[in-house]
Amino acid sequence: MESNISPLIKEKAPIILAEIQKAKSILLHCHPSPDPDSVGSALAMKFALEQLGKKVTVIKGDSAIPEAFMHFPGAKDIVAQNYSEVNLADFDLFIILDSALKQMVSRRSAVEFPPTLGTIAIDHHQSNDQFAKLNLVDATYPANCLILHDLFVLWGIELNSDIASNLFIGTYTDTGGFKYPGVNSHTYSVIAELVSYIPNVSDLITKMEYCNTPGFIAFEAAALGSIEVFLGGHLALSAVPYKVLGEKGIAVTDASTSETSSFMLTVAGWDVVASAVEQEPNVVKFSFRSKNADKFDVSKLANMMGGGGHRAAAGLILKMSIEEAKKLVVSKAKEMYNL
């Protein structure tokens, strides 16, 4: 297993461990609108650090932890605070996981790190701008939880069902059920190891996937009914205005653009798809997916407009009307992909 760990992780692992060993109280967080890779990374790291004798606090960050994730081991112990509500003097180290930019710590206010607070970023987004004092960014890994697994191996952390469950669910979801680029034999080797520690893997997955609400279904119907196709059929875009959410009684928490864009990608011929929702007036969230990431890299498309992510899956928030946002995305896609 160790022979398949990336050279970068092997290089950074002892340096990160040395910083952890110097710390007594460590802060972890979940990024805004957290996905299972964010929550799973934070919880797996918490359990690992506690093995090393550290006091660890995980905060929810800007967003509530989705009810669909509350069965992840340790989820009920996540503290309901965002970054601005934390007394940073209580911590000497902040480990920032699955976050490419400072804004992924919090979008509610400017994120500042006190000089006395050590910061370590561990991430797999190619758009990461190395904002921490110590950074481990390996974009060859399709999930942040896979990076953590390899770090834990090098640190001598003992796997158990709590750690393995969180690492598994983060990897399963961020790879699109092992479909996205970057999945390789090492991914499957790690998954096979993790599964051996998990009493009921299917239960872990189904409790997350089989908990949709009527509001979620209503959003999916509105989103799929709004699809337009652009750029000679290469780009498909759905967009749900804030007004529609109100008319149909859809909560913003039920407006899952990532689910919509993943479903849209199953259509043959749609190379790039985008699902948008106006979460509040003139605040539009986009989820991008790409079927051919080598040719249609959506992380670059999102980056052009202030977002980021992976080549096959990326995200963006635009502060403008939904019609203006749609026009901008189509224009930038045409420019980016020369269509």
Q: Quote the CA–CA distance of 118 and 127 in Å, as a whole number.
A: 22
| pLDDT averaged over every residue in the chain | 95
Residue 1 has pLDDT above 80, yes or no: no
- Give residue 309's pLDDT band: very low, low, confident or very high (50, 70, 90): confident
Domain with CATH 3.10.310.30 in the chain: 214-337
CA–CA distance, 3 with 87 (Å, rounded to integer): 41
The residues facing 27 across adjacent strands are 57, 94
Residue with tokens 């992510």: 309
Prediction pTM value: 0.90
Question: Phi and psi dihedrals of 67, rounded to 5?
Answer: -55, -30
Q: Where in the chain is the domain with CATH 3.90.1640.10?
A: 2-209
Q: Can you name the CATH fold of 214-337?
A: Diaminopimelate Epimerase; Chain A, domain 1 (3.10.310)
β-bridge pairing 228-230 and 308-309: unpaired
Tokens 């059920």 identify what position? 177
Torsion angle in degrees (nearest 10) through CA of 130, 135, 139, 140: 160
What are the angstrom distances between the C-alpha of 30 and each of 19, 40, 57, 80? 21, 9, 11, 11
Quote the Cα angle for 150-143-137, to 5°. 70
CATH of domain 2-209: 3.90.1640.10
134-137 β-sheet, strand order: 55-59, 25-29, 93-97, 118-123, 134-137
pLDDT in tens, 143-201: 999 999 999 999 999 999 999 999 999 999 999 999 888 999 999 999 999 999 999 99
